[in-house]
Amino acid sequence: MFLIKNLRRISPTTSSALIGFRNTGSPPLSSRFCTTLNQPQQVQSPAPNGLDRSRYEGLAPTREGEKPRVVVLGSGWAGCRLMKGIDTSIYDVVCVSPRNHMVFTPLLASTCVGTLEFRSVAEPISRIQPAISREPGSYFFLANCSRLDADSHEVHCETLTDGLNTLKPWKFKIAYDKLVVACGAEASTFGIQGVLENAIFLREVHHAQEIRRKLLLNLMLSDTPGISNEEKQRLLHCVVVGGGPTGVEFSGELSDFIMKDVRQRYAHVKDDVHVTLIEAKDILSSFDDRLRRYAIKQLNKSGVRFVRGIVKDVKPQKLILDDGTEVPYGLLVWSTGVGPSPFVSSLDLAKAPGGRIGIDQWMRVPSVQDVFAIGDCSGYLETTGKPTLPALAQVAEREGKYLANLLNEIGKANGGRANSAKEIALGVPFVYKHLGSMATIGRYKALVDLRESKDAKGISMTGFVSWFIWRSAYLTRVISWRNRFYVAINWFTTFVFGRDISRI
């Protein structure tokens, strides 16, 4: 839909770049688009490189007189911060992503149990960079990038229809002057059987929606007449695998929900709901011992059970640990860290440790011209001598900001076009300074560590004050005033009326 809307909005000026846009999978629509889009382009001059633009299936290379085009793959922390900072008087911006919004991930766990509403953590891209819906040469395409052809300066994409029968998947190309790969990472399953089929990840809004629906469904099913006690116990057993900040924050939210809302509204089953957190090593290993011990104590008080073990197999209703223990579950949330996506792995580019796209200190992919990579999908090449930065929003966001400024400078120095920035000095390289870590653990408590690393000197604290800092910090970090307002209202209504338990 979004793609179609965008295409319809194309003015004659823009459509000179977007021609021969053909839906190979759906002839009737294809011919309609071609007619509409090709009409204003009866008189076409060939592109400078001799390319026949009328046959280009997508956004053809930019020409003299048009702005150079920055193509951004991904609408996460890195890509959105970059788009926000790009000077749209210099560049046209084209974003390709399977979602038309950015997710404010630090507050995603709160949406799973209804502390926050889903819309409060989703920010539409067109609000982050309004030029995408206003400027004739800037677009958002709801699609996945499937291939990079760095020699021809183009990416191959495929539309996304979410399995709906609106349009068959449609392949198209986009020529870029500058390409920014910001397509994040994917949840790691370590090849454990049954994870993909039976567990729910916590990375996107639709995951949070799935978790909330399943949790409420299990609560209601467990209260139906005739259900065996064993089945009831299973349905009400919530298992979280992975003791990093996301797994711990989700467990904290869940135990808050159980202690406050389930007790009041599902009084029949309140004593049967349990949360187990399974971790192979130490929970919250990025925090120091004192903070970790505090978190474990508080979560224990909230009823969260810790199990140290390695998951070997996941069946539809139980998982099996390496020592043979069987753990029945009704809800299984998987949060064991991230690794490169199949798309990133498929790219024929030098890789950094961990399989990320290898970059230098200016975020460039050195082996190819005009390609940059930022966020979780990228890492410093070993030749830079720099360590891989953690997969964090604060890294992704600052890389996005840095690269936007760099591209703006390159554009101002007339290096915006493809292959035209070879001689331009790039200035100061990117330097990352860690600002600290925070994690909420439920019951109005949190951990705040403002040190550069867990062994450095500085401020670290726990308890209610930390929770207040955590909330204030994230409220100010929420992308827009609209969402800041939503979040504040949601927190207020949850405090006064409790969480919403309707299964919509």
Instruction: Give the start-end residues of each E strand in 3-53.
Output: 18-19
Phi and psi at residue 307, to the nearest 5°:
-130, 125
Please report whether residue 144 would count as binding ligand FAD according to CB under 6 A.
Answer: yes
Q: Is 375 in the site for ligand FAD (CB under 6 A)?
A: yes
Binding status of residue 339 toward ligand FAD by CB under 6 A:
no
Which residues lie across from 95 on neighbouring strands? 72, 140
Residue, CB closest to ligand FAD: 76
Q: Is 392 in the site for ligand FAD (CB under 6 A)?
A: yes
Using rule CB under 6 A, residue 108 touches ligand FAD: yes
In the complex, the smallest distance separating the C-beta of residue 342 from ligand FAD, rounded to whole angstroms, is 9
Count of residues near ligand FAD by CB under 6 A:
33
CA nearest 257: which of 355, 114, 405?
114
Select the span of 235-243, 370-378, 477-485, 493-501 touching ligand FAD (CB under 6 A).
370-378
Instruction: Report the residue number, 184 or 243, with the smaller CB distance to ligand FAD.
Output: 184
Residue 347 touches ligand FAD, criterion: CB under 6 A: no
| Among 20, 79, 114, 416, interactor with ligand FAD by CB under 6 A | 79
- Which range of residues in 99-107, 323-331, 364-372, 479-487 is near ligand FAD by CB under 6 A? 99-107
Q: Give, in order, the Cα–Cα distances in Å from 74 to each of 10, 162, 199.
A: 22, 17, 24
Among residues 80, 70, 180, 78, which one has the least CA distance to residue 135?
70
74 contributes a contact to ligand FAD by CB under 6 A: yes
Among 70, 96, 403, 448, binds ligand FAD (CB under 6 A): 96
* Residue 75 binds to ligand FAD (criterion: CB under 6 A): yes
Helix (H) or strand (E) holding 472: helix 464-477
Q: Which stretch binds ligand FAD (CB under 6 A): 92-100, 214-222, 233-241, 495-503?
A: 92-100
Residue 75 CB, nearest approach to ligand FAD (Å):
4
Residue from 106, 114, 243, 247 that binds ligand FAD (CB under 6 A)? 106
Does 484 engage in binding with ligand FAD (CB under 6 A)? no
Residue 290: both structure tokens together? 């004192």
Does the footprint of ligand FAD cover residue 352 (CB under 6 A)? no
Per this entry, what is the length of the chain?
A: 504
For the record, the structure tokens of 413 come out as 């120095």
CB half-sphere exposure, 67, CA atoms < 13 A: 22
CB distance 54 to 38 below 8 Å:
yes
Out of 6, 110, 298, 341, which residue is the one contacting ligand FAD (CB under 6 A)? Answer: 341
Residue with tokens 């990579």: 373
Shortest distance, position 446 Cβ to ligand FAD, whole Å: 11
Q: How far apart are CA 143 and CA 170, in angstroms?
A: 9
State the nearest-atom distance from the C-beta of 334 to ligand FAD, in Å: 11
For 35, list phi and psi in degrees, rounded to 5.
Answer: -60, -50
In degrees, rounded to 5, the angle at the alpha carbon of residue 142 between the alpha carbons of residues 41 and 153 is 60
Considering only residues 25, 40, 85, 98, which one is a binding residue for ligand FAD as defined by CB under 6 A? 98
Cβ proximity to ligand FAD, 187 vs 311, nearer residue:
187
CB atoms within 10 A of CB 151: 8
Closest Cα partner for 138 from 93, 99, 84, 85? 93
440 lies in the binding site for ligand FAD (CB under 6 A): no
Does 77 sit near ligand FAD (CB under 6 A)? Answer: yes
Say whether residue 380 binds ligand FAD (CB under 6 A): no
Q: With CA atoms as reference, report the closest residue to 307 among 293, 322, 294.
A: 322
Which phi and psi (to 5°) does residue 418 adopt? -55, 140
Residue 98 beta carbon to ligand FAD: minimum distance, rounded to whole angstroms: 5
List of residues 6+ apart from 54 with CB closer than 8 A: 19, 20, 38, 41, 44
Q: Which is nearer to ligand FAD, 15 or 120 (CB)?
A: 120
Task: Note the maximum CA span of the chain.
Answer: 76
Binders of ligand FAD among 179-218, rule CB under 6 A? Answer: 182-184, 202-203
Residues that bind ligand FAD (CB under 6 A): 73-79, 96-99, 105-106, 108-109, 144-145, 182-184, 202-203, 246, 341, 343, 375-377, 391-394, 396
